[in-house]
Structure 1
Amino acid sequence: QLGVRFDSLRPQLREALKNLFAKFDINQQDIYGRTPLHYICRQNDRDESNITDIVRLFIESGANITIVDEQNCFPFHYAVANGYALSLQYLIDINWFKDLEIYRQLFHSAICPLRIAVYYGHLNVLNELLKYGFNDYDTAFEIAIRRSNLDCAQRLYILCRHPETFQRMLLYSASIGDHKSLCLLFNIIKNHLIPKDRLLFLSSLCKHGYS
Structure 2
Amino acid sequence: MDDIFTQCREGNAVAVRLWLDNTENDLNQGDDHGFSPLHWACREGRSAVVEMLIMRGARINVMNRGDDTPLHLAASHGHRDIVQKLLQYKADINAVNEHGNVPLHYACFWGQDQVAEDLVANG
Give the TM-score band, short-chain normalised. 0.7 to 0.9
Residue identity matched to 1:28: Q
**Larger CA Rg, structure 1 vs 2:** 1
The equivalent residue for 1:18 is 17
Q: Which runs of 5+ in 2 are unaligned?
A: 1-11
Aligned match of 1:60: 55
In structure 2, the residue matched to 1:85 is 80
Partner Cα separation in structure 2 for residue 36 and residue 112 of structure 1 = 21
Asked if structure 2 preserves the Cα contact closer than 8 Å seen for 1:18 and 1:61, the reply is no
What is the letter of the counterpart of residue 110 of structure 1?
G
**How many residues are paired up?**
109
Q: Which has the higher helix share?
A: 1
The aligned residue for residue 110 of structure 2 is: 120
- Aligned mate of 2:120, from 130, 135, 141: 130
Q: TM-score, normalised by structure 2?
A: 0.74
**Superposition deviation, residue 28 in structure 1:** 1.2
Higher relative contact order (CA 8 A, sep 6+): 2
Q: Secondary structure at the match of 1:28?
A: coil
Aligned to 1:31: 32
Asked whether the 8 Å contact 2:20–2:27 carries over to 1, the reply is yes
Partner Cα distance (1:105, 1:76) in 2? 9
Query: Quick one: distance in 2 between partners of 1:14 and 1:42?
Result: 15
Partners of 1:67 and 1:105 in 2: how far apart?
10
Residue 19 of structure 1: CA displacement? 3.3
Cα distance in 1 for partners of 2:59, 2:16 equals 17
1:69-125 CA-to-partner distances (Å, cap 9, x unmatched) read 11110111110111011111112222x14xxxx45534xx72111110111101110
Aligned-residue identity in percent: 27
What is the rounded CA distance, in whole Å, between the counterparts of 1:78 and 1:52 in structure 2?
A: 13
The question of whether the paired residues in 2 share the 8 Å contact of 1:67 and 1:74 is answered with yes
Shift of 1:20: 2.6
| Runs of 5+ consecutive residues of structure 1 not aligned to the other structure | 1-12, 134-211
Residues 163-196 of structure 1, C-alpha deviations (whole Å, 9 max, x = no match): xxxxxxxxxxxxxxxxxxxxxxxxxxxxxxxxxx
1:37 positional shift: 1.2
For the residue of structure 2 that corresponds to 1:105, the secondary structure is coil
* Amino acid in structure 1 at the alignment position of 2:112: H
